[in-house]
Structure 1
């Protein structure tokens, strides 16, 4: 199933995309697509429900983040061998973990705000993994059983904030609107192999990133298992798994986003995003 949330910010309704591409209102069955719903038997019940009998939501309405009430927004750095190479970094021996503030989360087509004092706002298309049940000390063999589904994440970064000052990467990763997720949360059963998904990102119609999750250094099962050794993963947590090559930081000359730019991105089977850049 493709789960999504539709409506004004803070007042989104949970929906499901049906076979005809219509958005069906499931607010009578679930309060929201949050961790509680993903950990419940709601998905099992919905798979047995005749969606055609549910009311439609306006397909032209704003699409919100596909998961509500995210507890942890965990990101993995330098997780594509070809991206590490373009930055001149060594391939890490184990996953590089950092966090993104949950206040950065927004809808997939909301405006992307260029922060005040920004010099180097950059783009990164990434595969998002949404946890469906508590994961603690899980093995790689069992790790995918703890995944509710997958989504597109745009891990927007301000490179000067991230790399040129003191402190951790979180400063350059957490501005408002720096974490668009969605449009859909595609349930695990619809993604036969998360390590075989084409991904892309364009700026103003020009191709910037072209890649595949096949070149991840550490795959989804490895990441879920690895993270669960250091912290419990809760339903609704989002893991952003790294980006393929083509980021602005690594171009010669470097390229970054400015007000008026339009970013489009997507992952095969998981949908597309479109953001217009504006000044914060």
Structure 2
């Protein structure tokens, strides 16, 4: 891919928080610094986790922080046919198989042991569809833009689910199909997704998709020492300008971009203009970053 196209792909299970802002901002700045596009994808393939109005709130929050996207928003709930076509292709290649096993049955194993690879173990029961991680691209090797060379054997990670027993699509297949469908050249996301990349590279290779470049970001750690997340009740991002300005500055601090202290109260557009002009991935420290340090540095 000769042209840079990045994306931010939140799950609308709730509003964005400071950790989400850091990931979105890094992705946005990386795209804009390269003169590229930045697209928005709403990953709503799991409706029970996506309360009404959450996706609209996410878009309001991004807009409040000046993170304006290119092109139409892509909604995963519209992509069933594309996911099914990809799964059918994997089945035809012998790389995906139906599995009747439950997590309770293999709980004594670190990863799913592949019991249904040669045939469904319990015919007549609901099945999920899994990827044959022991076939295809092995080992998976790529160069992360921050963490350097990564090397994994996907078989040691197990046969990941591609379609759930309840008929809902799983993240690994959907994200690969959508990145290819949108022509994404660069993926910027949190370090917690780094070990998902081996399965995704296997799928890209099997389906004949180009592989994007990857930049995984250090995690943002909250006061309790845990990753800042919706599950840990991280506060929602504000949308009023007076609260947005210092938080945007704090996000730049968390990304080790060393914004001038005088920018803290500057309008969002002014802060982003400075940040785009000065964006450097090489400044980012690879260890986890604490929220309080970014806020204190203001």
Structure with the greater relative contact order (CA < 8 A, sep ≥ 6): 1 or 2?
1
Larger % of helix: which? 2
Larger CA Rg, structure 1 vs 2: 2
| Interval of TM-score (by shorter of Structure 1 and Structure 2) | under 0.3
Larger % of strand: which? 1
TM-score for both structures, normalised by structure 1: 0.23
